[in-house]
Amino acid sequence: MNIQQAKDEIARTYRAYIRRNPDGTHRIPVEKQRPVLLIGPPGIGKTAIMKQVAAECGCPLVAYSMTHHTRQSAIGLPFISQKVYGGVARSVTEYTMSEIVAAIYDKMQQTGQRSGMLFLDEINCVSETLTPVMLQLLQNKTFGNVPLPEDWIIVAAGNPPEYNKSVRELDMVTLDRVKHIDVAADLGVWQRYAVARDVHPAVRTYLSVWPDHFYRITETDRGLCFVTARGWEDMSLMLEAVEEDGVPVDANWCLQYLQDDEIARSFALYYDLFRHFTGRIKTYVGLCDDFSLADLLLDEPDMLRAWSSTQCLSVASMLFHPIQVGANRLAEAGRRLARRAELAAMMPREFTEDSVRAFFVQKREAVAIKVAHGVMMPEVEFRERSVLAGLEADVVAWHQLPDGEQVDFSVFEQARMEEDRTSRCIECKKVSSDIEAAYRALEGCPQGRSARLYLTSDLVASEACAGLMAECPSPSFERYRRELEA
C-alpha cells in the first residue's frame, strides 16, 4: 500500500470507529476496534500523513515517539494507597495517570472534542521493560490501569527489522489484534504531494528523469547509505534559502540530505545544469512583470530545436510554476466567493446597525474560539477573516450610496459578487491560455515529449489546476492526459 492509500484507510477507520447506532452504542464495539499499525521504511511520510488526516477529519491529534519514553512515563508513577480487604487495612501499589493518557484528556479539554487520534511512532523500538505496556495498549487500549477515552483511535507506526537494529518483532497474538498495513515508498504519490507543497522544480524534474533515485537504502563497507522522501523535501526547502544567499550547491552539500555518494553527486551535477540553463533564460528576458516564458520560447524556435530532453524537463517545471500560482489564486478566489455568499445569506433580516454589528462580532468570536481550540487551519482562518472584512466593507459602501441609488443590501451584494465572478472568469481563461502556450512551446522541441508528459502529470497532480480546467478546458491538456493514461 502506498502512503496515500494508508492515509485514506486511517480516515475511514476513524470515521467507522466513532460511528454510533441510534441507541448511542458504537457501531463497531470498542473491544473490536483494532488499532492501526503502519509498518514501512523510514522517511516515507508516516508521521506527516497523521497531521494531514487529523486535519481533514477535523479531530485533535496527540503524537508521541515511543523511543523517548520510559515505563514510568508510559504507565505513570507508583504510589501507595490504603485499602481494606476482609476488614484488614492493606497497603496497595497503584499508579498515577500515564503522561500519554493525560495528554489526551488535556487535548480534549482544549478542543472541546470527545474523539481524536493517538499516534505512537517507533512502536516496535521500545525498550524491553516497556514492551509489555505497548502490547497491553495495542490489545486492550489501556495504559497501566487507565483506559483510553472510547472515541480515541490508536495509530502506531514502526520500521521493518531490516531498517532498524533496535526493532523488536511483534508476536502473532499482538498482530492478530491490529489492522496491519505495510506501507511502501511511491514516487507517483510523492510527486503529487510535491506539487501541492511547491517542492523545488529541480528536485521534481530530477526524480522524473531518475525515478530509481527517489528512495534507496543500501549496505556498504562504510555503513548504511540511504536516500528518503523526507531527505528530498528537506533539501528542497534549504535549496531555496541557499539560492537567495548565493551558496554553491555541490555533492558535499547534497550529502547532508541525500546520504548516498552516487545520488548526491548525480543531483549536484543536474542542479548545476538546471541553474545554468534557467539562469540563461531569466537573463535573456529580464525579470519584468509581464514576463511570459511560453511566449519567449514560441518566438525562439532555434533555441527550442537545440535543447536536450533534460533541458526541456527543466523548462517544463518553469512553465508549470506560474500556471500553478494562477490556478491556486483562482481556487482560493472561488472558495472566498462561496464563503462570501454563505455569510451574506446569514446576515440578519432586520438590517439595523446594531444587528449587523452583532453579526460580525459573533462570527469573529466563533473564528477565535476555533483557532484557540486548534480546529481551524491557519489558511482557513485567514480566509474567514478576509471574507468578513470584505463583507463588512460592502456594508459600509452600501450605506454610503446616494439616496437615488439605494437598493436592498442583498441586491447590492449580489451585484458586487457578480463583478468578482466576471473578473475571476477572465483570469481563468488567461491561465487556460497560458497552459495552451506552454504545450505549444514544448511541442517545438524535438526532444520535448517527456517534458510535455511531465507537465501533464504536474497538472493532473494539482487539485487547483484540475479545478481550473474543469471550468476552462484545455484541448492540449486533454490530448496529453489521454496519452499519459494510455
CB 14 within 8 A of CB 153: yes
Residue with cell 492540449: 476
Per residue in 201-223, pLDDT tens? 888 878 877 888 888 888 777 77
User: 0.75 exceeded by the pTM?
Assistant: no
With vertex at residue 258, the alpha carbon angle to CA 253 and CA 260, rounded to the nearest 5 degrees, is 105
* pLDDT, tens digit, 9 for 90 and up, residues 44-79: 888 888 888 888 888 889 888 877 666 666 666 777
- In degrees and rounded to multiples of 5, residue 364 shows phi and psi of -70, -35
To which CATH superfamily is domain 3-184 assigned? P-loop containing nucleotide triphosphate hydrolases (3.40.50.300)
Confidence of residue 434 (pLDDT cuts 50, 70, 90): confident
Domains of the chain by residue range: 3-184, 185-291, 293-486
Per DSSP bridges, beta strands 152-158 and 88-95 are: unpaired
pLDDT in tens, 104-138: 888 888 888 888 999 988 877 766 667 777 777 77
Strands 146-147 and 142-143, by their bridges, are antiparallel
| Buried/exposed code over 222-249 (b: 16+ C-beta within 10 A; e: otherwise) | eeebbbbbbbbbebbeebeeeeeeeeeb
Residue 360 pLDDT: 92
